[in-house]
Amino acid sequence: MGSHRSRSPIKRHGKCTPSCSAGGLATFLHCDSFARMLPKASVKCLSDAGFFLDVKDVSLNHTIRSTFKAVVSLQGVKRNLDRRCRKSMYDPELCFFPQYTLKYITTPFFVLNSVYDAIQFHRSWVPYSADVGRTWGHCRHQLAACNADQIAVLQGFRHRMLKALSYLLKDKQSGGTFITSCLTHCQSNAQEFWFAVDSPRIHNKTMAEAVGDWYFDRRRTKEIDCGYPCDTCRNLAPLPQATEYAKFESLIPQAGTHGRIGFNNY
């Protein structure tokens, strides 16, 4: 960072910070502080697959909340979370979740995410520990294999994500979104998702075009894909990170077996 600050060209050029997954989450937490370190630059932030949702899993347990609170406690970062968010929350540690800190971010921000995010689907919405009847196995690999009740559950998570994004979608003029319905996680690092002939398009616009419109202030960009069975992703198989984790997760013993904590407690 010091090298960025010491070079004069940064005074003349903009800076965009794109990050994915855990990096996407960190973008929500550090975007404004990063911008303050580059006062002469035009800073904009993009989070890909970093909008981790604070919701109960299908067994009504706070799986992801417990994990995030443990991370905050372990790393001792509560004091580094947004001060205004901490003052507004009954539990300041929840400001680790993007949905609570988003409205306090002043730097132009773009959210690229799937409403059926594969990692959240597997680890926090329907973790292995919550799938007591082992009925979600096929659904994890592709949405077409989900039954009507499972689709209804996933649509509920979609609704909650869009509601959590409502501030950015409705009020924040400098914000942008490209919210897909693909069963995947990170998308900007895969050419077939980012800018290819058969890339997902929302209102006939690819991710690359949407981000470009937002970054260069060409036009307002608040793109939201239709819900499943929307065919936006019809030409794309789920990325390996989605299917491979679903296969691997089934091999993990439930938490507490042999006194260890498995990935299913993420």
Q: Using CB atoms within 10 Å of the CB of residue 132, give its burial: 0 to 12 exposed, 13 to 18 middle, 19+ buried.
A: exposed
pTM of the predicted structure, to 2 decimals: 0.82
- Please report which confidence band the pLDDT of residue 216 belongs to, taking 50, 70 and 90 as the band edges: very high
Q: Which of 221, 189, 190 is nearest to 205 (CA)?
A: 221
Buried b (16+ CB within 10 A) or exposed e, 93-125: bbbbbbbbbbebbebbbbbbbbbbbbbbbbbbb
Outline where DSSP puts E strands in the chain. 14-20, 42-48, 109-114, 176-180, 222-224
Calculate what percentage of the chain has a pLDDT beyond 90. 55
- Please report which confidence band the pLDDT of residue 41 belongs to, taking 50, 70 and 90 as the band edges: confident
Q: Which of 161, 99, 89, 90 is nearest to 125 (CA)?
A: 161
At 8 the pLDDT is: 33
Question: Token pair for residue 113?
Answer: 């995410």
At 192 the pLDDT is: 81
Tell me if residue 185 is catalytic. yes
Catalytic-labelled residue, pool 48, 57, 117, 225: 117
At 258 the pLDDT is: 33
Catalytic-labelled residue, pool 19, 48, 185, 199: 185
At 114 the pLDDT is: 93
Tell me if residue 171 is catalytic. no
Which residue has tokens 């580094």? 80
Does position 189 have pLDDT exceeding 60, yes or no? Answer: yes
- Please report which confidence band the pLDDT of residue 9 belongs to, taking 50, 70 and 90 as the band edges: very low
Half-sphere exposure of 227 (CA within 13 A, CB side): 12
Cα–Cα dist 167/25, whole Å? 17
Does position 187 have pLDDT exceeding 60, yes or no? Answer: yes
Does position 259 have pLDDT exceeding 80, yes or no? Answer: no
Cα–Cα dist 231/236, whole Å? 10
SS3 111: strand
Does position 90 have pLDDT exceeding 70, yes or no? Answer: yes
Catalytic-labelled residue, pool 19, 21, 114, 188: 21
Does position 92 have pLDDT exceeding 90, yes or no? Answer: yes
Tell me if residue 117 is catalytic. yes
Cα–Cα dist 92/20, whole Å? 24
Average pLDDT value for residue range 232-253: 49
